[in-house]
Structure 1
């Protein structure tokens, strides 16, 4: 009997090796963005999904083996938000400051994008990213 073919790899579900390979670079990039946005440790922990403080500080120091998939998803949205802002604003300082400015657009209702992102829900990161991608006229 011939060997059974391997199950096709689903692009929306990274395998273990991919998660291992992505974790370090994802965290390093996240923390660079967090520094550019001047996020407090508490804000960073919220955006990352609320890891325990000890885990967060291990991640911050570079001590990570593999991030959970939901944390990688959250970081992916933050990266997309950062990228969209860099495209929309010619000045990096303006792009970085945008998340803290009140916004009357429907997704924000007069609050800041950061307020929306800090609700703790992955869906709110998605909504901010979707809004910015629409503003720039395209998806990734």
Structure 2
């Protein structure tokens, strides 16, 4: 979400978010929750910006993978972390 979009939402909080934004928020909340279950607070906060050797990321950071891959990449990261923690 751009700064402009954020401030517009802040001015009119009863505005409805589109499905894409809601889905991204859902994935990010799930990723945050999974990271905090799996790792210490410090590592959970850093994980998304650390280079990752998992073949999914190819040595890139999970953040760059999600930025490049869009919504499908968000879903992949969420599923990976849920699988690691024994979730669905």
Scaled by the length of structure 1, the TM-score of the pair is 0.57
| Structure of larger gyration radius | 1
Over 3 Å counting, the alpha-carbon distance change for 1:111 and 1:62 in structure 2 is farther
Moved runs in structure 1, 4+ residues, more than 4 A?
none
Equivalent residue in structure 1 for 2:45, among 96, 118, 126: 96
RMSD: 1.7
Provide the aligned length of Structure 1 versus Structure 2: 87
Q: Identify unmatched segments of 5+ residues in structure 2.
A: none
- Paired residues for 1:54-133 under 5 Å: 54-59=4-9, 61=10, 63-64=12-13, 65-89=15-39, 91-119=40-68, 121-133=70-82
The structure where helix makes up a greater share of residues is 2
Q: Hey, what's the Cα distance between the residues in 2 that align with 1:83 and 1:62?
A: 28
